[in-house]
Amino acid sequence: MSSACLPRAATLETRARPVVPRRARAEAPRSAAPRRGARAMASRVVCAASAPVPIMVNDLTGKMGRAVADAVVARGADQCFLVPVALSGQAKDPVDVGGVRVEIRSVLDGDAGATLEELKSAYPGMIVVDYTLPAAVNANADLYVKHGTPFVMGTTGGDREKLFADVERSKLPAVVAPQMGKQVVAFQAAMRLMAENFPGAFAGYTLSVTESHQSSKVDTSGTAKAIVQSFNDLGCGFDIADVELVRDEPTQLGKMRVPEEHLLGHAYHTYKLKSPDGTVGFEFQHNVCGRSIYAEGTVDAALFLAQRVERPGDKTLFDMIDVLKEGGMVTN
C-alpha cells in the first residue's frame, strides 16, 4: 500500500474547488481497448449493471490501488471505466493507466467531500474503491457515508467493529472485506462450512501454520486468522500467536520457494495437521504471487455493488461471500 492515505482531516469541510470540467459530464474518460490477455478473457459477473460503471480508485498510486486501476481498464469499457480523478494524502503528478490520465488530488488542499459530490454529478453511479492505509479506514468510511458514495473497502485495519456498525447504520451500499481474492475467499468459506457441519472432526490433531508475505507486512494475515478459527472449531486448539511469520528473503526463496520477482508481493500459506499418533497428516496450501487475484475480485465487487445500488434491498453491507454467491467467479 502507498504511504499516501486519506487522513482524518479529509472529513473536515474546507474550501471546494472544481474537479471535473462540466463538459466531461456527458462523456466517459478514454479507456484502453480491451486487452486480449488472460484478464480480458475473464468471465463477467453474472448480473452486471445496466450501464458501464464509473470506478474511482483511492489511492491508485499505491501498489494495490494501481493493480485495481489496471484491472478496471483491462475489464473493458462495456463493463466499467476508470474515473480520471483519485484522492490521495498528497497531490502527485497525473498517472497514466492504460490510456486514462488520472489526476491525483490531495485531500489536504481542498474539500474531499466537494470532490466526491462533483464526481458523483459528473459520473452518475460512481463506485469508490478504497486501498489506502489502515489508519485512514474509519475516516474514509465516514467520508463516503456522509456523501452517500457507495464504496468497496479493501483496506485492512482500523476499528472494524465501528466500521461495520457505521456503514450498516447508514444503509449505504458497501462491500467491506479484508480479502478480495475470490478463490481464497471460497476456500475460507469451504473451511467455515466444514467447521459448522463437522465440529471436532480434527480433535486432538496438532496444527502448524506458516505464512509468508512481503517484508512490509508485519502482522499476521487476516486470512490465516480466519482459517485458524475454522480449524479450532474443528478441534485443533491452535494459538494464533504461534503462526510462523516468514518475512526474510532467504527463507522465502529457500524454504517457501517464492519466485524472486514476487518477493515484494505474494501470499504463501501452509496449514499442516498431524494426528495424535503421528500416522495421519493433512496439508492445506494456497500460494498467491502478485496482486491480480485481489484486483480482479475488487473490480467484481464494484460491479456487484453497482447492481445492488440499481436494485436495492434490505441488505446494504456486503462481503466477498455475497459476491461469490452472485456467481461472479473470475478466473485469471
Type of residue numbered 60:
L
Together in a domain, 129 and 48:
yes
Q: Is 111 helix (H, G, I), strand (E, B) or coil?
A: coil
Label residue 163 by pLDDT band (50, 70, 90): very high
Specify if 282 maps to a domain: yes
- CA dist., res. 191 & res. 197, Å (int): 10
Q: Is the pLDDT of residue 5 over 60?
A: no
Residue 246 shares a structural domain with residue 235: yes
Q: What is the CATH number of the domain that holds 61?
A: 3.40.50.720
Domain count, the chain: 2
Q: Is residue 2 situated within a structural domain?
A: no
Which residue(s) pair with 272 in the sheet?
208, 283
Does 131 share its domain with 250? no
**Burial environment of residue 254 by CB neighbours within 10 A (0 to 12, 13 to 18, 19 or more):** exposed
Cα–Cα distances in Å, from 34 out to 42, 76, 98? 11, 5, 10
Instruction: Find the catalytic residue in 63, 92, 217, 262.
Output: 217
Nearest to 67 by CA among 173, 181, 143: 181
Region of residue 319 (phi > 0: left; psi between -120 and 50: alpha; otherwise: beta):
beta
pLDDT digits (tens, 9 = 90+) for 227-281: 999 999 999 999 999 999 999 999 999 999 999 999 999 999 999 999 999 999 9
Residue 227 maps to a domain: yes
Query: How confident is the prediction for the chain on average, in pLDDT?
Result: 84
Q: What CATH number is associated with residue 283? A: 3.30.360.10
- Percent of the chain at pLDDT exceeding 90: 67
Closest to 20 (Cα-Cα) out of 127, 149, 122: 122
Q: Which of 164, 58, 60 is nearest to 112 (CA)?
A: 58
Q: How far apart are CA 68 and CA 58, in angstroms?
A: 10
**Single-letter amino acid, residue 321:** I
First to last CA, the chain: 22
Same-domain pairing of 107 and 150: yes
One domain, residues 111 and 191: no
Instruction: Tell me whether residue 249 is in a domain.
Output: yes
Asked if residue 250 belongs to a domain, the reply is yes
Q: For 79-130, how does the pLDDT look when each residue is reduced to its tens digit (9 = 90+)?
A: 999 999 999 888 889 999 999 999 999 877 778 999 999 999 999 999 999 9
Q: pTM here?
A: 0.77
Query: What is the grid cell recorded at 293?
Result: 487475484
What pLDDT does 328 receive? 53
* In a shared domain, residues 17 and 90: yes
Task: Examine residue 75 and state whether it is found in any structural domain, yes or no.
Answer: yes
What does the pLDDT read at residue 203?
96
Same domain, 35 and 159: yes
pLDDT for residue 295 is more than 90: yes
User: To 5 degrees, how large is the angle CA 191–CA 192–CA 195?
Assistant: 85
Condensed to tens digits (0 to 9), the pLDDT of residues 24-72 reads 333 444 443 334 343 333 444 444 557 999 999 998 888 899 999 999 9
Choice among 10-14, 171-175, 259-263 with the minimum mean pLDDT: 10-14
Q: Is residue 11 predicted with pLDDT exceeding 90? A: no
* Residue 332 is assigned to a structural domain of this protein: no
Contact 227, 183 (CB under 8 A): no
| Omega of the bond leading into 70 within 30 degrees of 0 (cis) | no
Task: Tell me: do 79 and 187 sit in the same domain.
Answer: no
CA distance 84 to 219: 33
Kindly name the residue from 120, 147, 213, 266 that is annotated as catalytic: 213
101 and 216 share one domain = no
Give one word for 200, left, alpha or beta, with left for phi > 0 and alpha for psi -120 to 50.
Answer: left
- 240 and 197 in a common domain: yes
pLDDT (mean) for 297-308: 96
3-class DSSP state of 290: coil
Nearest to 176 by CA among 217, 214, 128, 220: 128
Answer yes or no: is 198 within a domain.
yes
Q: Are 14 and 127 members of one domain? A: yes
**213 included as an active-site residue:** yes
Q: To 5 degrees, how large is the angle CA 156–CA 160–CA 164?
A: 115
Q: What are the DSSP calls for 205-227, one per residue?
A: -EEEEEEEE-TT--SPPHHHHHH
Question: Is there a catalytic annotation at residue 262?
Answer: no
For 41, the grid coordinates are 478473457
Q: Domain range holding 191?
A: 182-289
Selected residue with higher pLDDT from 4 and 128: 128
Do 173 and 188 lie in one domain? The reply is no
